[in-house]
Chains A and B, each alone.
Chain A
């Protein structure tokens, strides 16, 4: 795809003005970094940063059966979530493999917003739109009508107050509501406190300008990837993909087998996980996607799905899918980097503890 064919978010001109390094992502020309990845990660961990994530997809479901429809499409429990709550969930095929992971926001008893990964908009739409006519609801893809900002970091509330965008009764973690011209959600992809703010292109452009004027650091996709990996959030295309089930990727907590009915249920009831996700740390080297993971006998038992240098803990960090039947009893792991085998420290907790675990 040439640059001319790439899509642009409504903030594209501003990214260029800020001299961001741009790179194609999910068909969009997106900002990867503005100043330095390190500085941007630290802004979010210690202060506040803003991401243009307008490339992400927004589907709306409206009607009496809106909640029922979404609940039966996704693996997590959406039916019993109160109005105003958000639920993270995989979206699975009948065979239990993962089409995408998403957040569903229960804006009203008869209105649901589903936010999906940019690279999966068409795939998700093709899957769920075929079932919508069986329900008393209307499913629409409004991705092209919305821009989306993620304001993230411990000082988010301070900024929201200054902008008079903080609802009177605040908004708890994983809650959402319509507020003026925006949809505000207390969600994010960094492990810090934060809001995701959906709005029209025009409203979001104005808000972006105000945020920059208030000194909020613009942050790119590179920092976003480091931040999510430090708190061990999965990324579709890496820890999750078309070939594996949520049970393979440590997402058992998002699969509510006891629900009356959902896509993939029969397969997931029977499924034996093939993989287990390992969190691995290296003191002196940087693990990367695709590197082999070995046990102490030198046998290859899996591979790294995401790896980077952690800015917050200053170590190499990796998520790796390990063959479940080859999970080492001694929990000793090694990562092959070029000619060398590096001992990796296995950890059961996230690499970094943000405000939200």
Chain B
């Protein structure tokens, strides 16, 4: 399965992508994830002010047949959720890297546990 993995982002093994800009992280799900899930029909995201450590469940994404948790890739507080996705969940299928889910104000900018594009691509290849 060929899928996009933009070079400038970080990734998790749970198939989230992260864009880190200073103390802010923008989080979404990858092209691999949306393709594996199929038609995304429901997204549940947290309110601003919620705080998470990396690995915590922050929301849910559902396809017609499945329910998947969303895991916070980093530690921080939710600044904003993408309300457009709650109204039009299919945006995640159409443009996964534009369809961010939450923005986090980071309490730690340590990204050493995240994968870079190359490692994530290799990780996905190992799943096929």
B64 touches which one: A285, A311, A338 (CB < 8 A)? A311
Asked if A33 and B38 sit within 8 Å, CB to CB, the answer is: yes
**CB-CB contacts of B35-46 with A at 8 A, as 1s and 0s?**
000110110100
Chain B positions within 8 Å of A187 at CB level: none
CB under 8 Å from chain A, chain B span 54-73: 60, 62-65, 67
Interface contacts (Cβ under 8 Å), in number, total: 32
Taking CB as reference atom, which chain B residue is nearest A33?
A: B38
A36 touches which one: B38, B42, B60, B62 (CB < 8 A)? B38
**CB-CB contacts of A265-290 with B at 8 A, as 1s and 0s?**
00000000000000000000110100
CB under 8 Å from chain B, chain A span 306-357: 308-309, 311, 338
A32 to B65, CA, bound (A): 10
Asked if A226 and B64 sit within 8 Å, CB to CB, the answer is: yes
Asked if B39 and A38 sit within 8 Å, CB to CB, the answer is: yes
A288 to B67, CA, bound (A): 9
Taking CB as reference atom, which chain B residue is nearest A38?
A: B39
Chain B positions within 8 Å of A248 at CB level: none
Asked if B60 and A222 sit within 8 Å, CB to CB, the answer is: no
A286-B41, A286-B42 are known contacts. Are A308 and B64 too (CB-CB below 8 A)?
yes
Asked if A309 and B38 sit within 8 Å, CB to CB, the answer is: no
Asked if B42 and A38 sit within 8 Å, CB to CB, the answer is: no
Asked if A309 and B62 sit within 8 Å, CB to CB, the answer is: yes
Asked if A37 and B39 sit within 8 Å, CB to CB, the answer is: yes
A33-B38, A286-B41, A309-B41 are known contacts. Are A38 and B67 too (CB-CB below 8 A)?
no
Chain A positions within 8 Å of B60 at CB level: 338
Chain B binding site: helix, strand, loop or mixed by DSSP?
strand
Q: Answer whether residue A72 sits at the interface, using C-beta atoms and an 8 A cutoff.
A: no
Chain B positions within 8 Å of A38 at CB level: 39, 64
Asked if A37 and B42 sit within 8 Å, CB to CB, the answer is: no
A305 to B64, CA, bound (A): 16
CB distance from B62 to the nearest CB of A (A): 5
A308 to B64, CA, bound (A): 6
Chain A positions within 8 Å of B39 at CB level: 36-38
Asked if A37 and B65 sit within 8 Å, CB to CB, the answer is: yes
Chain B positions within 8 Å of A309 at CB level: 41-42, 62, 64
**CB-CB contacts of A30-48 with B at 8 A, as 1s and 0s?**
0011001110000000000
Chain B positions within 8 Å of A285 at CB level: 42
A334 to B20, CA, bound (A): 40
Asked if B62 and A37 sit within 8 Å, CB to CB, the answer is: no
CB distance from B23 to the nearest CB of A (A): 29
Chain B positions within 8 Å of A222 at CB level: 38, 64-65
CB distance from B43 to the nearest CB of A (A): 11
CB distance from B64 to the nearest CB of A (A): 5
A311 to B38, CA, bound (A): 13
Taking CB as reference atom, which chain B residue is nearest A284?
A: B42
CB distance from B60 to the nearest CB of A (A): 7
A285-B42, A309-B41 are known contacts. Are A37 and B64 too (CB-CB below 8 A)?
yes
Chain A positions within 8 Å of B63 at CB level: 37
CB distance from B126 to the nearest CB of A (A): 17
Chain B positions within 8 Å of A308 at CB level: 64-65
Taking CB as reference atom, which chain A residue is nearest B62?
A: A286
Chain A positions within 8 Å of B41 at CB level: 286, 309
Chain B positions within 8 Å of A288 at CB level: 67
Chain B positions within 8 Å of A226 at CB level: 64
A-B CB contact pairs (8 Å), 18 listed: A21-B38, A33-B38, A36-B38, A36-B39, A37-B38, A37-B39, A37-B64, A37-B65, A222-B65, A225-B65, A226-B64, A285-B42, A286-B67, A309-B41, A309-B62, A309-B64, A338-B44, A338-B60
Interface residues of A (CB under 8 A from B): 21, 32-33, 36-38, 222, 225-226, 285-286, 288, 308-309, 311, 338
Given contacts A33-B38, A286-B41, 9 further A-B contacts (CB under 8 A): A36-B39, A37-B38, A37-B65, A222-B65, A226-B64, A286-B62, A286-B67, A288-B67, A309-B64
